[in-house]
């Protein structure tokens, strides 16, 4: 009796999960691909090679690569100092790292405009730098603005992946290495890095996925289609135009993002698998 | 003196981990820092290694003040409580780490590592990772890793704490032998008095950040200088009123008295050997008998007081409820932080050391 009831519960729960995932995730994804290819491969190709799409792809890739690089370096530094040192205000700092998780991205984007925009308090500083260096950096409604917004939204991913690993590992291995006279860099390379390697790669994958798909923060600071739009913004713009063609194009561009997401998911699974099998050695 | 600590003070927030600690250690000695957990002994070890910085005081090695020398330059070997082996390195690479850091040639590193591996008796396991070793093997590797670069001083933090009781005893004598063989001045931290007594030449007893006493194990055992030491070393019973006991009438009521099992003798009324001592003995009743492997631990009730004595298995059998004579031949009395040995006044003419 008891066994069969357990079985019913088991299959019931599995059933609910499967139905939920099917309707909420799988079918919409399939719908995107179906809509994208509905008018034939030719239309699909045209949509993907349109000037605006290529520009959006370029901006997305630039933002992602820079955000990933910056966040990897910053993420390691932040995780390191939060776990390996004791200082006053450490808890506050470690809470601050999480702000992008808890704040709406649109607000983050608007905050950037308020800070660096025409009437923002940091505007004179930027102007000063531009004057001194002879550069022409604009931090709102520009590609650098998109990059900054993307960095902001994605920066906790890497440090949040590494912090628990460093916490669990403790400090004694580093102390042991330091006592033997190893330099900070050697300690990091030989002792710490092997511990965080897979966590770091995992964090980088999550960071990439989020950077590809970010909409809200980027939407706030990017207004020029074909210049500063990213793929998600381009999809939105195409869809909002409302013609039958543009809607198909919107789905075509969306399918690009879906494809990137699938690649990231596969990578993530490979990393998780390798990370696990490595641990059990 | 080889290693000196002078007036070391260290606070963590409001917690005083070391209060004016001073001691000297001779070259080649194996010294135990003994104390209950949270007594500050590990902090002292870490200050010595340079992993913590003292608020006040000097750390001196071979006559040189090394306060400002960072841990990495002190040339001290350290074995951590959980060994802290590099998890992603093989046994070989763990031991080789400190040598490679010193930019030793590859051949020399190999030679030294193999020498260490054969010293610790782990030949053939050099390609293993720490996860693939038993607790005892890990400890051996940690020891080899610490001494491979030839440090002048070896510090060990609770080196046996993470090992199960069975292997621990074996490892203790192994470690003692190794340290003798290598001839390195060593200090180890432990909370286990048995361990300290068995392994160390000298014991430093730490309690609540204070140095209570330093001396050889037998000195500390025979002449405890503070109530804490008397209580901590050996098994002791603390009493506050002995006024009813024959031979101790002059001990003031309320003074802290410590009695060890070896200060108590219990004998049957027809025992010929102790017959002459009956006037100095009290009458008691056996309350509990516990078998301790090589002896019996006997709890006797004398008036309102419970006393414990150890009884050889060679002696006549006894049973709970049996009446016995209980002779208290010696006690420790504590007065304002100092400990005094006190002999039963009725035994003045008897040499109790001969009993």
The pLDDT score that the predictor gives to residue A235 is 92
Q: Which chain B residues have a beta carbon less than 8 Å from that of A281?
A: 129, 131
Of A175, A183, A190, the CB nearest to B84: A175
User: What b-and-e string marks burial along B21-50, b requiring 16 or more CB atoms within 10 Å of the CB?
Assistant: bebebeeebbbbbbbeeebbbbbbbbbbbb
Dist CA A174 CA B33 (whole Å): 24
Contact between A203 and A160 under an 8 Å Cβ cutoff? The reply is yes
Min Cα distance A250 → chain B (Å) is: 48
Q: Quick check: B85 contacting A, CB < 8 Å?
A: yes
User: Is residue B273 predicted with pLDDT exceeding 80?
Assistant: yes
The pLDDT score that the predictor gives to residue B212 is 92
The pLDDT score that the predictor gives to residue B108 is 95
Contact between A155 and A71 under an 8 Å Cβ cutoff? The reply is yes
Residue tagged 């906790």 (tokens): A156
Q: Quick check: B86 contacting A, CB < 8 Å?
A: yes
Question: Do residue A180 and residue B76 have CB atoms under 8 angstroms apart?
Answer: no
Dist CA A193 CA A84 (whole Å): 14
The pLDDT score that the predictor gives to residue A224 is 87
Question: Do residue B71 and residue A175 have CB atoms under 8 angstroms apart?
Answer: yes
Question: Do residue B88 and residue A176 have CB atoms under 8 angstroms apart?
Answer: no
Higher pLDDT, B61 or A245: B61
Residue B91's pLDDT band (cuts 50, 70, 90) = very high
Question: Do residue A182 and residue B101 have CB atoms under 8 angstroms apart?
Answer: yes
* β-pairing verdict for B330-335 and B338-343: antiparallel
Question: Do residue A181 and residue B51 have CB atoms under 8 angstroms apart?
Answer: no
Of B71, B80, B88, the CB nearest to A194: B88
Q: Which chain B residues have a beta carbon less than 8 Å from that of A183?
A: 72
User: What b-and-e string marks burial along A149-169, b requiring 16 or more CB atoms within 10 Å of the CB?
Assistant: bbbbbbbbbbbbbbbebbeeb
Contact between B157 and B45 under an 8 Å Cβ cutoff? The reply is yes
Question: Do residue B86 and residue A177 have CB atoms under 8 angstroms apart?
Answer: yes
- CA distances, B211 to each of B5, B6, B9, B22, B274 (Å): 11, 12, 11, 8, 41
Question: Do residue A179 and residue B72 have CB atoms under 8 angstroms apart?
Answer: yes
Q: In the A/B pair of chains, how many CB contacts fall below 8 A?
A: 62
Residue B353's pLDDT band (cuts 50, 70, 90) = low
Q: How far is CA A184 from the centre of its chain?
A: 29
User: Is residue B252 predicted with pLDDT exceeding 80?
Assistant: no
Domain A33-279 sits in which CATH superfamily? Answer: MetI-like (1.10.3720.10)
User: Is residue B19 predicted with pLDDT exceeding 50?
Assistant: yes
Question: Do residue B80 and residue A175 have CB atoms under 8 angstroms apart?
Answer: yes
User: Is residue B243 predicted with pLDDT exceeding 80?
Assistant: no
Q: Quick check: B243 contacting A, CB < 8 Å?
A: no
Q: Which chain A residues have a beta carbon less than 8 Å from that of B101?
A: 177, 180-182, 186
The pLDDT score that the predictor gives to residue B355 is 52
Question: Do residue A176 and residue B82 have CB atoms under 8 angstroms apart?
Answer: no
Question: Do residue A181 and residue B102 have CB atoms under 8 angstroms apart?
Answer: yes
Give pLDDT tens digits for B116-166: 999 999 999 999 999 999 988 999 999 999 999 999 899 999 988 878 877
Q: Which chain A residues have a beta carbon less than 8 Å from that of B149?
A: 180-181
The full DSSP string for A184-245 is HHHIIIIIIHHHHHHHHHHHHHHHHHHHHH--HHHHHH---TTTT--HHHHHHHHHHH--HH
**Structural domains in chain B?**
3-232 (3.40.50.300), 237-354 (2.40.50.140)
Question: Do residue B71 and residue A281 have CB atoms under 8 angstroms apart?
Answer: no
Question: Do residue A179 and residue B77 have CB atoms under 8 angstroms apart?
Answer: yes
Q: Quick check: B103 contacting A, CB < 8 Å?
A: no
* β-pairing verdict for B202-207 and B210-215: antiparallel
Question: Do residue A190 and residue B86 have CB atoms under 8 angstroms apart?
Answer: yes
Residue B171's pLDDT band (cuts 50, 70, 90) = confident
Of B51, B72, B86, the CB nearest to A173: B86
- pLDDT tens across the length of chain A (281 residues): 667 888 999 999 999 999 999 999 899 989 988 988 888 888 889 888 999 999 999 999 999 999 999 999 999 999 988 888 888 888 888 888 888 888 898 998 888 888 888 788 888 888 888 888 887 877 778 898 899 999 999 989 999 999 999 988 888 899 999 999 998 899 999 999 999 988 898 899 999 999 998 999 999 888 888 889 999 999 999 999 888 888 888 999 999 888 888 898 898 888 878 776 655 44
Where do the H-state alpha helices sit in B73-148?
91-101, 106-119, 135-147
Q: Which chain A residues have a beta carbon less than 8 Å from that of B89?
A: 190
- Which residue of chain A is at minimal alpha-carbon distance from B130? A281
Dist CA B180 CA B200 (whole Å): 11
Of A177, A180, A186, the CB nearest to B149: A180
Q: Which chain B residues have a beta carbon less than 8 Å from that of A181?
A: 72-73, 75, 98, 101-102, 149
Query: 215-234 in B: which are within 8 Å (CB) of A?
Result: none
Higher pLDDT, B232 or B205: B205
Q: Which chain B residues have a beta carbon less than 8 Å from that of A180?
A: 72, 97-98, 101, 145, 149
Q: Is A21 helix (H, G, I), strand (E, B) or coil?
A: helix
Where do the H-state alpha helices sit in A97-155?
99-102, 105-116, 123-133, 143-154
Question: Do residue B129 and residue A281 have CB atoms under 8 angstroms apart?
Answer: yes
Question: Do residue B80 and residue A172 have CB atoms under 8 angstroms apart?
Answer: yes
Mean pLDDT for the stretch of residues B263-271? 88
Residue B351's pLDDT band (cuts 50, 70, 90) = low
B228: which residues sit within 8 A by CB, 6+ positions away? B205, B207, B212
Q: Quick check: B98 contacting A, CB < 8 Å?
A: yes
Dist CA A225 CA A237 (whole Å): 8
The pLDDT score that the predictor gives to residue A1 is 60
Which tokens sit at B55? 């608020």
Reported ipTM: 0.77
The pLDDT score that the predictor gives to residue A280 is 43
Higher pLDDT, B236 or B87: B87
The pLDDT score that the predictor gives to residue B352 is 57
Dist CA B215 CA B204 (whole Å): 7
């Amino acid at each position: 009796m008891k066994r069969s009831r357990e079985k019913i519960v088991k299959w019931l729960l599995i059933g609910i999960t499967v139905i939920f995932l099917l309707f909420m995730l799988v079918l919409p994804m399939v719908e995107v691909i179906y809509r994208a290819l509905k008018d034939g491969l030719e239309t699909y190709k045209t949509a993907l090679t349109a000037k605006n799409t290529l520009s959006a792809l370029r901006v997305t890739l630039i933002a992602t690569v820079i955000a990933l690089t910056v966040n990897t370096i910053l993420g390691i530094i932040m995780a390191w100092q939060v776990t390996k040192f004791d200082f006053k205000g450490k808890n506050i700092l470690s809470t601050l790292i999480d702000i992008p998780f808890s704040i709406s991205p649109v607000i983050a984007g608007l905050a950037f405009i308020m800070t660096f925009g025409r009437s923002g308090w940091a505007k004179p500083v930027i102007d000063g730098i531009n004057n001194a260096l002879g550069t022409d950096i604009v931090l709102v409604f520009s590609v650098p603005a998109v990059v900054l917004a993307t960095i902001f939204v994605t920066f906790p991913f890497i440090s949040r992946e590494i912090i628990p690993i460093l916490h669990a590992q403790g400090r004694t291995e580093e102390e042991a290495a330091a006592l033997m006279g190893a330099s900070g860099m050697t300690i990091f390379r030989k002792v710490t890095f092997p511990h965080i390697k897979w966590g770091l790669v995992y964090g980088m994958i999550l960071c990439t996925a989020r950077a590809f798909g970010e909409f809200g923060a980027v939407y706030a600071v990017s207004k020029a289609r074909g210049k500063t739009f990213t793929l998600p913004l381009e999809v939105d713009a195409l869809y909002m135009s409302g013609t039958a063609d543009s809607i198909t194009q919107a789905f075509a561009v969306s399918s690009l993002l879906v494809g990137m997401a699938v690649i990231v998911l596969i990578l993530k699974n490979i990393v998780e698998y390798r990370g696990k099998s490595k641990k059990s050695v | 003196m080889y290693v000196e600590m002078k007036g070391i003070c260290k606070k963590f927030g409001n917690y005083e981990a070391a209060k004016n600690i001073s001691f000297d250690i001779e070259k080649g000695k194996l010294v135990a820092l003994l104390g209950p957990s949270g007594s500050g002994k590990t902090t002292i070890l870490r200050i010595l290694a340079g992993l913590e910085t003292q608020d006040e005081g000097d750390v001196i090695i071979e006559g040189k003040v090394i306060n400002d020398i960072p841990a990495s330059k002190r040339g001290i070997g350290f074995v951590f409580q959980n060994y802290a082996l590099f998890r992603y390195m093989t046994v070989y690479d763990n031991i080789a780490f400190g040598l490679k850091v010193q930019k030793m040639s590859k051949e020399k590193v190999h030679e030294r590592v193999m020498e260490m591996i054969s010293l610790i008796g782990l030949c053939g396991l050099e390609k293993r990772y720490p996860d693939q070793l038993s607790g005892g093997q890990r400890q051996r590797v940690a020891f080899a890793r610490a001494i491979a670069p030839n440090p002048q001083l070896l510090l060990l933090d609770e080196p046996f704490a993470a090992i199960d009781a069975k292997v621990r005893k074996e490892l203790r004598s192994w470690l003692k032998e190794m340290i003798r063989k290598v001839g390195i001045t060593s200090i180890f931290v432990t909370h286990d008095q048995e361990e300290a007594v068995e392994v160390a030449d000298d014991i430093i007893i730490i309690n609540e950040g204070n140095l209570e006493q330093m001396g050889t194990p037998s000195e500390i055992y025979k002449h405890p200088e503070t109530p804490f030491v008397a209580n901590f070393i050996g098994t002791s019973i603390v009493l506050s009123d002995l006024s009813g006991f024959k031979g101790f009438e002059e001990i003031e009521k309320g003074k802290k008295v410590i009695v060890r099992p070896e200060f108590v003798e219990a004998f049957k009324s027809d025992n010929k050997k102790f017959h002459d001592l009956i006037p100095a003995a009290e009458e008691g009743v056996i309350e509990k008998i516990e078998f301790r492997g090589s002896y019996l631990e006997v709890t006797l009730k004398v008036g309102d007081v419970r006393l414990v004595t150890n009884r050889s298995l060679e002696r006549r059998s006894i049973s709970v409820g049996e009446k016995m004579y209980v002779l208290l031949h010696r006690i420790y009395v504590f007065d304002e932080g100092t400990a005094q040995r006190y002999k039963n006044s009725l035994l003045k003419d008897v040499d109790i050391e001969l009993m």
